[in-house]
Structure 1
Amino acid sequence: MNSPGKRIAVLVRTSEPARVAEALRAAVGLSLRGDRVEVVLPGAEPALSAVLAEQRRAIDTLRMLGHTVELPADAADADAAAARALRAADASEVWT
């Protein structure tokens, strides 16, 4: 079990709606244990726009709680953001 204060990177490497939704719900759950969460979503894709609109509540909740949710402009930016998040993290989850 994680002790409070750990930094957890949640990397979402899919635009499949059910997986994105599940990853965001998991990130909210992790944040409720007192850990710092940084979510990195995939680079902008046409299919992802609709998914993010449906998941706005989870994204807004994470941000309201002071966590980071990154929405990179493209795949290269997503890779760079994921690398930064992993370097800073004590633990990580990758959703594919």
Structure 2
Amino acid sequence: MGDKLLPAWRSAVGETPATVADNLDRAERLGLIPSADLWLALRRLRNQMVHEYIEDPSVLSNALNAAHTHLAILTDAADALLADLAQRGIIEQS
């Protein structure tokens, strides 16, 4: 979402997409995500799970459990972006 959805949203609303950190800060200021810092921490967790080969099952389990506890943040952010686009009349939301 940080690499693709937020820049697409910024373009759709007439803003210029910026760095991931700037896009997250903007989304936080608008109340679309609860915390840019938390989002960056989740991004690091995702990168760890995807880009590193985790050999220790307990480390992988802990990472998966941590990610799962924050799943609502991702779905809530996607819902908030869609609601914002609908409110602006850019899309129709069903």
TM-score (norm: length of structure 2): 0.32
Larger RCO, structure (CA 8 Å, separation 6 or more)? 1
TM-score (norm: length of structure 1): 0.31
Select the structure of larger CA radius of gyration. 2
More strand by share: 1
